[in-house]
Amino acid sequence: MKLVVNFLDALRKVRLKLSMENFGSTNQAANSLAAKEMKSVFQSVKKSKQEIEGSEDLWQNIKRVLLMCGGQKKPDGVEERMQDSCRLVDVLEAQRFVSQVFAAMQVPKQAASEMADALIAADYMGQRSMGIHRLPAIAADLLNCTVAGDATPGIVSEKKAIALVDGHNAPGPVVANFCMDLALQKAREVGVGWVSARGSNCIGFASWYACQALEQRMIGLCMTNAAPALVPSGGIEPILGENPIACAASGVHEQFLADFGMAACSVEELELSYCNGWSKEVPKLVALDRNGRETTSTEEALRAQRIRAFQPEHKGFGMAAMVDILCGVMTGARYANQIQRRGVYSRENAAADLGQVYVAIDPMRFCPSFEDRLGDFHRLLRQAMPTKVGKTAMVPGDKEMQHMKMVDEQGGLTMSPCTLCVLEELATKFDIVPLKINGSKLSEAAISEDLNVA
């Protein structure tokens, strides 16, 4: 828990520092001009295919990665890039850079920092498919005005323990932080806070918001619906999103953190693997191709985005449906295949209107000895789990803590060549200070260890 709390404190200090400064103040005029030019380009995206092609000179690296993520372009030059190897970037330096990228796209400073926090936290905690890798897709949504970077969430209705929030199409992390803060406030007052949201966007790493409850010694829950990618058992058309659930709780010496989507393998994981040339195949019984047939090709899986739920399939799909009822049906947001499936560019410029649920619980209101009992619960789990010689039994949350410690010890986040290429392009286009790289290249053994821990 201390690692998470310390991380939260460090990010707040960076946010405070940035709030007293201008993002890239020496280049403010250039930032504004670049943002206006880029926004103009992406506002015209919906008009014609020719104009989309015409924007390639300005945004070619972003488009290249998005095309690869969709399986529409092969990850060219993978061998050369992998020889270039991965590099390390300090956690707070990565936060600074990503914040400035969002600010250059005319996102308010506070919102830009919150959006950066969500991506950096995912990389820090080992969920790299939800980390900086997603920056190109978020940038496209912002510049295409699919997401309103300057919007502010608002409360629609509330009681002592519950509230309904309209995200007003603000960035997902902005809506999520607003809702989680409100849920925590209610839990402090009455023991439980349940806040539902509509009109939101992709929040990224759900655990990040659940973990924010740990700082106040509470239990945090977060769930969200998403664009359809899951096919029902026996079906071939995607109708539900991966719809993740995250839960975080901590004791004096132990922490619990569970985060799982309902897909056998997330689309984001396939994107990250394919873009970097790590895997060209997916396991059997994971994905269907565009004709509804089983496929083990990562490229075909990305093109079709027809993913099976986790096994047993009917239960994984049922869990996704449960989340959609709580997040979509109950909040007034879109649900199931009402949610627009995203391509490389959104031709219709339509808002996602995702629904989400954020819950904070004060366990001491139910059991004053909760933290000690949670520690005993973990002890029982570890004793019951068989382990290899010299290995410690792993319980939910251990992998994340292990990855955070590894990042601290190695001196930064691991950045793949593909990701670094995109970040360099962003620094050039928005005329901001480039990302500072730490030290030398990572060895193949170090990269392999990082991937295994994640």
* Structural domain includes residue 116: yes
* Residue 403 located in a structural domain: no
Is the peptide bond between 153 and the residue preceding it cis, with omega within 30 degrees of 0? no
326 and 416 share a domain?
Answer: no
Asked if residue 89 and residue 106 are part of one domain, the reply reads yes
Tokens 């919102």 locate to 111
Contacts 24+ apart (CB under 8 A), 36-44: 38/105, 38/143, 38/429, 39/105, 39/106, 39/143, 39/145, 41/143, 42/140, 42/143, 42/144, 42/145, 42/345, 43/144, 43/145
Please compute the mean of the pLDDT values over residues 229-249 and round it to a whole number: 95
| Angle, CA of 302, 305 and 306, to the nearest 5° | 130
Residues whose CB is less than 8 angstroms from the CB of residue 334 and which lie 6 or more positions away in sequence, other chains included: 225, 328, 352, 353, 354, 355
**Domain at 446, CATH number:** 1.10.1530.10
Kindly tell me if the per-residue pLDDT of 44 is higher than 70.
no
- Claim to verify: residue 359 and residue 257 sit in the same structural domain: yes
In terms of domains, do 186 and 50 share one? no
96, two tokens: 């600074």
- Give me the percent of the chain exceeding a pLDDT of 70: 75
- List pLDDT tens digits, range 352-363: 999 999 999 999
- Please identify, among 345, 369, 384, the residue that sits at the C-terminal boundary of a domain: 384
Instruction: Give the CATH number, domain containing residue 321.
Output: 3.30.1370.60
Cβ neighbours of residue 309 closer than 8 Å, sequence gap 6 or more:
230, 233, 262, 263, 264, 315, 316, 317, 319, 320
Model confidence, pTM:
0.85
Are residues 233 and 166 located together in one domain of the fold?
A: yes
The torsion of the CA quartet 419, 406, 102, 12, rounded to 10 degrees, works out to -170
pLDDT value of residue 5: 62
- 8 A C-beta contact, residue 267 and residue 242: yes
* Rg (alpha carbons) of the chain, rounded to whole number: 21
- Report yes or no: 344 and 67 within 8 Å, Cβ to Cβ: yes
CB 11 within 8 A of CB 95: yes
395 inside domain: no
At residue 136, φ and ψ (nearest 5 deg) are: -60, -40
How confident is the model at residue 217, as a pLDDT? 93
Per-residue pLDDT, 407: 93
On whether both 201 and 277 belong to a single domain, the answer is no
Whether pLDDT at 450 is above 70: no
**Are 354 and 241 in the same domain?**
yes
pLDDT tens digits for range 73-126 = 666 554 454 445 678 999 999 999 999 999 998 899 999 999 999 999 999 999
Note whether 376 and 420 are same-domain residues.
Answer: no
**Is 212 a member of any domain?**
yes
| Burial 403-434, CB ≥16 within 10 A → b, else e | bbebbeebebbbbbbbbbbbbebbbebbbbee
Residue 407 lies in a domain: no
Domain assignment present for 74? yes
Given a cut of 60, is residue 287 above it in pLDDT? Answer: yes
Rounded to the nearest 5°, which phi and psi values hold at 218?
-120, 170
**Average pLDDT over every residue of 219-232:** 97
**Cα 176 to Cα 16, 343, 355, 426, 440, distances in angstroms:** 20, 24, 11, 26, 37
Q: Is the confidence at residue 378, as pLDDT, over 70?
A: yes
Instruction: Give the β-pairing of 219-224 and 192-200.
Output: unpaired
Structural domain span for residue 298: 267-306
Are residues 314 and 284 located together in one domain of the fold?
A: no
204: left (phi over 0), alpha (psi -120 to 50) or beta: left
Rounded-to-integer distance, Cα 119 and Cα 422, Å: 15
Q: How confident is the model at residue 60 (pLDDT cuts 50, 70, 90)?
A: low
- Asked if residue 294 is part of any domain, the answer here is yes
Greater pLDDT, 313 or 51? 313
Structure tokens at 293: 């047939």
Instruction: For residue 292, give both structure tokens.
Output: 């509804």
Same domain membership, residue 350 and residue 209: yes
What CATH number did the domain enclosing 274 receive?
Answer: 3.30.60
From residue 292, how far is each of 232, 270, 282, 308, 313 by CA, in Å? 12, 18, 16, 11, 16
350 and 224 assigned to the same domain = yes
Nearest CA to 4 out of 405, 273, 275 is that of 405
Give all strands of the β-sheet with 287-288 in edge-to-edge order.
230-231, 306-308, 287-288, 294-295
The pLDDT of residue 364 is 96
In a domain, 177, yes or no: yes
pLDDT surpasses 60 at 45: no
Is 368 in the same domain as 432?
no
Domains in the chain, number: 3
